[in-house]
Amino acid sequence: MTSALKLILFDVDGTLVDSQGTIVSCMNEAFELYEITLDPRDILSIIGLSLPEAVARLAPQLHSDSHSVLISRYKDAFFRARAERGRDHSPLFPGARAVLDALHAVPEYILGVATGKSQRGLDALIEGHDLGMFVTRQVADHHPSKPHPSMILTAMSETGIPPADTVMIGDTTFDMDMGRAAGVTTIGVDWGYHPAAHLGADHMLAEFAALPDLLRRIWPD
Protein backbone atom coordinates (compact mmCIF):
# COMPACT_ATOMS: atom_id res chain seq x y z
CA MET A 1 0.00 0.00 0.00
CA THR A 2 1.31 3.43 -0.93
CA SER A 3 0.01 6.97 -0.73
CA ALA A 4 0.68 10.27 -2.47
CA LEU A 5 1.90 11.75 0.80
CA LYS A 6 5.21 10.84 2.42
CA LEU A 7 5.84 11.01 6.17
CA ILE A 8 9.31 12.10 7.32
CA LEU A 9 9.83 11.63 11.05
CA PHE A 10 12.81 13.05 12.91
CA ASP A 11 14.30 12.29 16.27
CA VAL A 12 15.28 15.54 18.02
CA ASP A 13 18.26 15.31 20.42
CA GLY A 14 21.34 14.24 18.48
CA THR A 15 19.54 14.41 15.14
CA LEU A 16 18.07 17.90 14.76
CA VAL A 17 19.72 19.65 17.71
CA ASP A 18 23.05 19.26 19.49
CA SER A 19 21.92 19.15 23.10
CA GLN A 20 24.55 16.83 24.55
CA GLY A 21 26.39 19.53 26.52
CA THR A 22 23.20 20.64 28.27
CA ILE A 23 21.95 17.10 28.86
CA VAL A 24 25.28 15.92 30.34
CA SER A 25 25.67 18.92 32.63
CA CYS A 26 22.06 18.81 33.83
CA MET A 27 22.16 15.06 34.45
CA ASN A 28 25.35 15.41 36.48
CA GLU A 29 23.81 18.26 38.44
CA ALA A 30 20.82 16.05 39.26
CA PHE A 31 23.00 13.12 40.38
CA GLU A 32 25.15 15.30 42.66
CA LEU A 33 22.45 14.88 45.31
CA TYR A 34 23.43 11.21 45.65
CA GLU A 35 27.17 11.90 45.22
CA ILE A 36 27.18 9.95 41.96
CA THR A 37 29.50 11.01 39.14
CA LEU A 38 28.36 9.77 35.75
CA ASP A 39 30.56 8.94 32.80
CA PRO A 40 29.52 11.25 29.92
CA ARG A 41 29.53 8.22 27.61
CA ASP A 42 26.89 6.56 29.79
CA ILE A 43 24.73 9.67 29.60
CA LEU A 44 25.03 9.84 25.82
CA SER A 45 24.07 6.17 25.60
CA ILE A 46 20.61 6.84 27.09
CA ILE A 47 19.72 9.97 25.11
CA GLY A 48 16.54 9.23 23.20
CA LEU A 49 14.90 7.21 25.93
CA SER A 50 12.10 8.67 28.01
CA LEU A 51 13.43 10.33 31.15
CA PRO A 52 12.16 7.67 33.60
CA GLU A 53 13.73 4.89 31.54
CA ALA A 54 16.98 6.86 31.15
CA VAL A 55 17.33 7.53 34.88
CA ALA A 56 16.50 3.92 35.74
CA ARG A 57 19.31 2.73 33.45
CA LEU A 58 21.80 5.23 34.85
CA ALA A 59 21.01 4.44 38.48
CA PRO A 60 19.67 0.86 38.77
CA GLN A 61 21.01 0.70 42.32
CA LEU A 62 18.63 3.43 43.54
CA HIS A 63 15.02 3.05 44.65
CA SER A 64 12.24 4.26 42.37
CA ASP A 65 11.54 7.12 44.82
CA SER A 66 15.09 8.32 44.23
CA HIS A 67 14.54 8.05 40.49
CA SER A 68 11.59 10.42 40.83
CA VAL A 69 13.79 12.91 42.70
CA LEU A 70 16.46 12.69 40.01
CA ILE A 71 13.90 13.27 37.26
CA SER A 72 12.60 16.37 39.04
CA ARG A 73 16.11 17.72 39.60
CA TYR A 74 17.08 17.10 35.98
CA LYS A 75 14.00 18.90 34.69
CA ASP A 76 14.69 21.88 36.97
CA ALA A 77 18.28 22.08 35.77
CA PHE A 78 17.28 21.78 32.12
CA PHE A 79 14.60 24.47 32.39
CA ARG A 80 17.11 26.83 34.03
CA ALA A 81 19.60 26.18 31.24
CA ARG A 82 16.95 26.95 28.66
CA ALA A 83 15.91 30.14 30.45
CA GLU A 84 19.51 31.32 30.74
CA ARG A 85 20.73 30.43 27.24
CA GLY A 86 17.59 30.36 25.11
CA ARG A 87 17.80 28.27 21.99
CA ASP A 88 21.61 28.24 22.22
CA HIS A 89 21.37 25.50 24.85
CA SER A 90 20.30 23.13 22.03
CA PRO A 91 21.49 24.56 18.68
CA LEU A 92 20.39 23.09 15.38
CA PHE A 93 23.01 20.95 13.68
CA PRO A 94 24.68 22.52 10.61
CA GLY A 95 22.45 22.35 7.56
CA ALA A 96 19.31 21.35 9.46
CA ARG A 97 17.42 24.60 8.98
CA ALA A 98 17.94 24.75 5.22
CA VAL A 99 16.97 21.12 4.71
CA LEU A 100 13.86 21.35 6.88
CA ASP A 101 12.72 24.42 4.95
CA ALA A 102 13.38 22.67 1.63
CA LEU A 103 11.46 19.54 2.65
CA HIS A 104 8.60 21.61 4.02
CA ALA A 105 8.27 23.26 0.61
CA VAL A 106 7.56 19.89 -1.05
CA PRO A 107 3.74 19.48 -1.09
CA GLU A 108 3.85 15.67 -0.76
CA TYR A 109 6.10 15.69 2.29
CA ILE A 110 4.61 15.68 5.79
CA LEU A 111 7.17 16.38 8.52
CA GLY A 112 6.97 15.13 12.09
CA VAL A 113 9.00 14.35 15.19
CA ALA A 114 9.23 11.30 17.42
CA THR A 115 11.23 12.23 20.50
CA GLY A 116 12.01 11.23 24.05
CA LYS A 117 11.44 14.84 25.05
CA SER A 118 8.43 15.92 27.07
CA GLN A 119 5.63 17.92 25.47
CA ARG A 120 6.83 20.99 27.36
CA GLY A 121 10.40 20.51 26.20
CA LEU A 122 9.46 19.96 22.57
CA ASP A 123 7.09 22.93 22.53
CA ALA A 124 9.85 25.20 23.86
CA LEU A 125 12.34 23.89 21.31
CA ILE A 126 9.92 24.35 18.41
CA GLU A 127 9.14 27.88 19.52
CA GLY A 128 12.78 28.75 20.08
CA HIS A 129 13.90 27.54 16.66
CA ASP A 130 10.70 28.43 14.78
CA LEU A 131 10.04 24.83 13.73
CA GLY A 132 6.35 25.10 13.06
CA MET A 133 6.62 22.86 10.00
CA PHE A 134 6.14 19.70 12.08
CA VAL A 135 2.61 18.41 11.55
CA THR A 136 2.71 15.39 13.87
CA ARG A 137 4.58 15.64 17.17
CA GLN A 138 5.05 12.52 19.25
CA VAL A 139 6.60 12.90 22.72
CA ALA A 140 7.47 10.75 25.71
CA ASP A 141 4.51 12.03 27.75
CA HIS A 142 2.06 10.09 25.60
CA HIS A 143 3.93 6.90 24.66
CA PRO A 144 6.04 4.06 25.99
CA SER A 145 9.76 4.79 25.74
CA LYS A 146 11.62 4.09 22.53
CA PRO A 147 12.19 1.58 20.99
CA HIS A 148 8.49 0.77 21.36
CA PRO A 149 6.90 1.68 17.99
CA SER A 150 3.96 3.59 19.48
CA MET A 151 5.23 7.03 18.41
CA ILE A 152 5.61 6.06 14.77
CA LEU A 153 2.38 4.06 14.67
CA THR A 154 0.50 7.04 16.08
CA ALA A 155 2.12 9.46 13.63
CA MET A 156 1.12 7.24 10.72
CA SER A 157 -2.40 6.93 12.08
CA GLU A 158 -2.72 10.70 12.52
CA THR A 159 -1.55 11.42 8.98
CA GLY A 160 -3.05 8.41 7.22
CA ILE A 161 0.33 7.52 5.71
CA PRO A 162 1.37 3.84 5.55
CA PRO A 163 4.75 2.33 6.51
CA ALA A 164 5.89 2.11 2.87
CA ASP A 165 5.74 5.89 2.66
CA THR A 166 7.26 6.67 6.05
CA VAL A 167 10.87 7.13 7.15
CA MET A 168 12.34 7.47 10.63
CA ILE A 169 15.51 9.58 10.90
CA GLY A 170 17.61 9.33 14.04
CA ASP A 171 21.02 8.98 15.64
CA THR A 172 20.48 6.13 18.11
CA THR A 173 19.82 2.42 18.09
CA PHE A 174 16.55 3.24 19.88
CA ASP A 175 15.38 5.20 16.82
CA MET A 176 16.37 2.47 14.39
CA ASP A 177 14.82 -0.31 16.48
CA MET A 178 11.63 1.74 16.81
CA GLY A 179 11.50 2.25 13.06
CA ARG A 180 12.02 -1.43 12.32
CA ALA A 181 9.33 -2.38 14.83
CA ALA A 182 6.91 -0.05 13.04
CA GLY A 183 7.85 -1.43 9.62
CA VAL A 184 9.20 1.83 8.19
CA THR A 185 12.45 2.72 6.41
CA THR A 186 15.18 3.83 8.81
CA ILE A 187 17.76 6.54 8.16
CA GLY A 188 20.68 6.93 10.55
CA VAL A 189 22.81 10.05 10.96
CA ASP A 190 26.48 9.84 11.85
CA TRP A 191 26.72 13.14 13.77
CA GLY A 192 24.71 11.99 16.78
CA TYR A 193 25.25 10.24 20.10
CA HIS A 194 25.43 6.53 19.24
CA PRO A 195 28.27 5.15 17.09
CA ALA A 196 27.14 5.10 13.47
CA ALA A 197 28.52 1.59 12.99
CA HIS A 198 26.08 0.28 15.62
CA LEU A 199 22.89 1.74 14.18
CA GLY A 200 22.09 -0.87 11.55
CA ALA A 201 20.02 1.64 9.58
CA ASP A 202 18.63 1.02 6.12
CA HIS A 203 20.42 4.18 4.98
CA MET A 204 23.05 6.47 6.53
CA LEU A 205 23.61 10.22 6.25
CA ALA A 206 26.95 11.97 6.72
CA GLU A 207 25.45 15.45 6.32
CA PHE A 208 22.01 17.01 6.38
CA ALA A 209 22.35 18.33 2.84
CA ALA A 210 22.26 14.77 1.48
CA LEU A 211 18.78 14.03 2.84
CA PRO A 212 16.62 15.40 -0.01
CA ASP A 213 18.47 13.32 -2.62
CA LEU A 214 18.25 10.23 -0.42
CA LEU A 215 14.50 10.66 -0.05
CA ARG A 216 14.13 10.94 -3.82
CA ARG A 217 15.98 7.64 -4.18
CA ILE A 218 13.78 5.97 -1.55
CA TRP A 219 10.63 7.33 -3.20
CA PRO A 220 11.39 7.63 -6.94
CA ASP A 221 8.79 9.26 -9.14
C-alpha 91/C-alpha 104 separation (Å) is: 20
Catalytic residue among 13, 18, 171, 175: 13
Is residue 202 part of the annotated active site? The answer reads no
Q: Across the strands, what pairs with 113?
A: 10, 137
C-alpha 129/C-alpha 90 separation (Å) is: 9
Measured between alpha carbons, how far is residue 52 from residues 21, 55, 64, 101 in Å? 20, 5, 9, 33
Catalytic residue among 11, 165, 175, 177: 11
Tally of helices (H runs) and strands (E runs) in the chain: 9, 6
C-alpha 123/C-alpha 70 separation (Å) is: 22
Q: Across the strands, what pairs with 167?
A: 8, 185
Is residue 11 part of the annotated active site? The answer reads yes
Active site residues: 11, 13
